[in-house]
Amino acid sequence: EIVLTQSPGTLSLSPGERATLSCRASQSVTSSYLAWYQQKPGQAPRLLIYGASSRATGIPDRFSGSGSGTDFTLTIRRLEPEDFAVYYCQQYGSSGGVTFGPGTKVDIK
């Protein structure tokens, strides 16, 4: 089973700043089957990025994903007030298994 580690655990930033979130896998992720989600309190997660770097439908272009193999990054170019939330990475393995990272909380500094 692939284990995902996210860092930092909490990121304290101000609106307008750039956020860089890291997701590291214990083994190489198959064909970049790596996704990122945003979750706000009391809401279901929302898909932001799939295939490591493709934005999901309706996601603003200030969100971007990059990486391959075992190291992946989610970047939020300029934080808007609505971007303060918890972000999870998720991988899909060749055997059909799925794992989520523990999450990074982006809060207001």
- Catalog residues that contact another protein under the rule CB under 8 A: 1, 33, 35, 37, 39, 44-47, 50-51, 54, 56-57, 88, 90-92, 95-103
| Closer Cβ to another protein, 14 or 57, answer by number | 57
The answer to whether the peptide bond before residue 8 is cis (omega within 30 degrees of 0) is yes
Q: Which two tokens stand for residue 60?
A: 């603003």
CB of 39 to another protein, least distance (A): 8
| Closer Cβ to another protein, 5 or 18, answer by number | 5
Q: Which two tokens stand for residue 48?
A: 């932001």
CB of 57 to another protein, least distance (A): 8
Strand order in the sheet with 71-76: 4-7, 19-25, 71-76, 63-68
CB of 14 to another protein, least distance (A): 26
CA distance 15 to 44: 23
CB of 66 to another protein, least distance (A): 15
| Closer Cβ to another protein, 17 or 64, answer by number | 64
Taking residue 25's Cβ as centre, other Cβ atoms within 10 Å add up to 21
| Closer Cβ to another protein, 84 or 92, answer by number | 92
H or E element at residue 88: strand 86-92
